[in-house]
Amino acid sequence: MQIRTVGVVGAGQMGNGIAHVFALAGYDVLLTDVSAEALDAARATIEKNLERQVSRGKVNGDDRDAALARIRTTMTLADLGPSDLIIEAATERETVKQAIFEDLGPHLGPDTILASNTSSISITRLASRTDRPERFMGVHFMNPVPVMQLVELIRGIATSPETYATLHELVEKIGKTASSSEDFPAFIVNRILIPMINEAIYTLYEGVGNVASIDRALKLGANHPMGPLELADFIGLDTCLAIMNVLHDGLADTKYRPCPLLVKYVEAGWLGRKTRRGFYDYTGDEPVPTR
């Protein structure tokens, strides 16, 4: 299975990063979104991030220009159909992802491989809604995609060995490192990471410490580069809640119950950096704890 062209569905934080790394590695990329503004913002973000890599000596100017030339955009999902590989990077809601794959179905080439960048949802279940479960996999990039080294590879129950081998090789070709996970809720990284964040929110909720003290404790006491509440804001509190719900529903264990404070913040629309308010307020020059 040869991959030369890559379609990316969703031009948000993950989608533009995925487009960036594939284009830089020499692949032709077609990026789609339902919003023209999102596509314009994605291209601007990719240009800014490539320029940062050039300024740090990690990429030369010719490679930057070539990567930008390889990225095209469209608002028509069907245009992605002929791509060798299509990676869905839409919001972490199963109904949205299922609708995307169903809409793509009639337009796909016979050999097209489908992948989802989901951070928690069953690959087997998503694949079952397509006409090619054997050519379907989870390919979970970490955020920010151009910087983070890891890609989780998740096989559904029907994923063929050939599909897995193709995508494992592809991850190496784009300069990333693969870690293989079985298809269980939240896979490896988020099964460990998000409950830790949820426990930090419980620690705040129960008054054990405030936002600043909790984040300081983990940064200095466990040598984490970011505190758990700062990290939750970076990920997006809605995404953290969605993953906790997948864990709670999928594993039926009370230890995965989302903290009520997390639920309250999401209900308030305080989703973290992307809404400029979460466990920190980002409206000023420096983030200020909200509790």
Q: Note whether 177 and 234 are same-domain residues.
A: no
13 known ligand binder: yes
Residue finishing a domain among 182, 209, 224:
182
245 annotated as a binding-site residue? no
Domain boundary at 155, 182, 209, which?
A: 182
Phi-psi region of 139 (alpha: psi -120 to 50; beta: other; left: phi over 0): beta
> Is 119 one of the annotated active-site residues of the chain?
yes
Q: What's the burial of 206, exposed, middle or buried (CB within 10 Å: 0-12/13-18/19+)?
A: exposed
CATH number at residue 139: 3.40.50.720
Q: Are residues 81 and 176 in the same domain?
A: yes
Residue pair 190/243 in contact (Cβ under 8 Å)? The answer is: yes
Give me the catalytic one of 83, 116, 117, 190: 190
Give pLDDT, residue 1.
79
Task: Based on the fold, state whether residues 198 and 240 are members of the same structural domain.
Answer: yes
Digit-by-digit pLDDT tens for the chain (291 residues) are: 799 999 999 999 999 999 999 999 999 999 999 999 999 999 999 999 999 999 999 999 999 999 999 999 999 999 999 999 999 999 989 999 999 999 999 999 999 999 999 999 999 999 999 999 999 999 999 999 999 999 999 999 999 999 999 999 999 999 999 999 999 999 999 999 999 999 999 999 999 999 999 999 999 999 999 999 999 999 999 999 999 999 999 999 999 999 999 999 999 999 999 999 999 999 999 999 999
Same-domain pairing of 235 and 97: no
Residue 165 CB partners (closer than 8 Å, separation 6+): none
Same domain, 170 and 199: no
3-state secondary structure of 191: helix
Which one of the listed residues 20, 83, 116, 140 is annotated catalytic?
A: 140
Range of the domain at 206: 191-289
The predicted pLDDT at position 274 comes to 94
| 234 and 96 fall within a common domain | no
Cis peptide before 144 (omega within 30 of 0): yes
Q: Are residues 177 and 199 in the same domain?
A: no
Distance CA 131, CA 133 (A): 6
Q: Which token pair is 159?
A: 């994923």
- Active-site option among 152, 181, 198, 230: 152
Residue 12 labelled as part of a binding site: yes
β partners of residue 140: 152
Q: Catalytic site residue 190?
A: yes
State whether 164 and 214 are in the same domain.
no
Are the C-beta atoms of residues 74 and 30 closer than 8 Å to each other? yes
33 labeled part of a ligand binding site: yes
164 and 216 housed in the same domain? no
Amino acid type, 283? T
180 tagged catalytic: no
Q: In terms of domains, do 79 and 129 share one?
A: yes
Q: Which of 163, 182, 201 is the last residue of a domain?
A: 182
Cα–Cα distances (Å) from 242 to 57, 140, 198, 216, 226, in that order, read 38, 16, 12, 26, 21
Number of domains in the chain: 2
Catalytic residue flag (residue 35): no
Sign of CA dihedral 197, 200, 206, 212: negative
CA dist., res. 195 & res. 133, Å (int): 30
Is 156 marked as a binding-site residue? Answer: no
42 and 82 in a common domain: yes
Identity of residue 110: P
Helix axes 237-251, 260-267, angle to 10 degrees: 130
**In angstroms, what CA-CA distances link 199 with 143, 192, 209, 213, 228?**
21, 11, 12, 14, 9
Looking at the fold, whether 128 and 201 belong to one and the same domain comes out as no
| Helix and strand numbers, DSSP H then E, in the chain | 11, 10
Is residue 97 part of an annotated ligand binding site?
yes
Q: Where are the alpha helices (DSSP H) in the chain?
A: 13-24, 36-55, 61-70, 94-104, 123-128, 161-173, 189-205, 211-221, 228-235, 237-251, 260-267
